[in-house]
Every structure is written in structure tokens, then in C-alpha cells.
């Protein structure tokens, strides 16, 4: 999307960290460029170059492995008990580990239970 700005005093809703309910208030061209840099925006020519490099590198969309899909289906098919708690079988837990699921509870939460 190409945005051509001729009058720099405006409210910009595309930029993060709004300072007004209408959006980010921009006063000058210098401030506009600073805000774009803070938001990690790049000029259109550089963006096209980055897109062309990614296309040349043969970037393929991410897909799940068959094993990951099977583990997700097994988890979705698990029914909770009458108290609403779900217990997984050892095979499901091993499958989750093979796929790369982190089963360790963070230490800083201070909660009891879970896998260690």
C-alpha cells in the first residue's frame, strides 16, 4: 500500500502508541519520519527489495508435520472428566515432546503442579 503525504499535520491511525483518541498526531515531516523509524517501517523501495529477496530464497509457507497434526487431533479428542480436568495419556505426552512442546512450567510463577 502506497501512502503519499503532502500535508504532514494529521492524525495517523497506522502508527502504534497513539497519543490521542483519533490516532498518533503528526506535526512535521521530521516527526513523521522519526515515528516511522520507531515503528520499524521501511521505504517502499527497500520493502520491495526485501520481498524480492524472500521470494528468491524460496520461502515456503509454514506447514505442520503429520506427527504434529496427529498430536493436535489426539489432544482435541481428549474428553475432560466430570470436574473439567483433562488427563493425557503417556503416548500423547511423548508425542508432544517429539513435536517440540515445552512441558516445563516456568519457575517464576510460583505455582505447584504440572510437569517438571
Query: What is the reported pLDDT for 115?
Result: 52
Say if residue 100 is exposed, middle or buried (CB neighbours under 10 Å; 0-12, 13-18, 19+): exposed
pLDDT digits (tens, 9 = 90+) for 85-104: 888 889 988 999 999 888 87
Summarised one tens digit per residue, pLDDT across range 5-57 is 666 777 777 777 777 888 888 888 888 888 888 888 888 888 899 888 888 88
> From residue 21, how far is each of 11, 18, 61, 97 by CA, in Å?
9, 7, 37, 46
DSSP 2-53: ----S---EEESSSSS-SBTTBEEE-SHHHHHHHHHHTT---HHHHHHHHHH
Query: Is a pLDDT exceeding 90 seen at residue 69?
Result: yes
Close Cβ partners of 96 (under 8 Å, ≥ 6 residues apart): 71, 75, 88, 103
Q: Say if residue 111's pLDDT is above 80.
A: no
Report the pLDDT value the prediction gives residue 58, as an integer from 0 to 100. 78
Does pTM surpass 0.85? no
pLDDT of residue 42: 83
Q: Would the pLDDT of 114 be above 70?
A: no
Query: Which residue did the predictor score with more confidence, 59 or 102?
Result: 102
Amino acid at each position: 500500500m502506497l501512502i503519499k503525504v503532502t500535508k504532514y499535520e494529521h492524525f495517523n491511525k497506522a502508527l502504534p502508541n497513539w497519543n490521542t483518541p483519533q490516532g498518533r498526531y503528526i506535526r512535521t515531516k521530521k516527526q513523521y519520519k522519526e515515528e516511522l523509524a520507531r515503528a520499524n517501517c521501511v521505504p517502499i523501495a527497500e520493502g520491495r527489495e526485501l520481498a524480492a529477496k524472500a521470494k528468491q530464497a524460496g520461502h515456503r509457507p509454514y506447514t505442520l508435520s503429520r506427527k504434529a497434526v496427529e498430536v493436535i487431533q489426539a489432544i482435541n479428542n481428549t474428553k475432560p472428566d466430570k470436574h473439567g480436568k483433562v488427563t493425557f495419556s503417556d503416548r500423547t505426552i511423548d508425542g508432544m515432546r517429539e513435536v517440540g512442546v515445552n512441558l516445563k512450567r516456568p519457575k517464576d510463577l510460583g505455582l505447584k503442579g504440572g510437569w517438571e
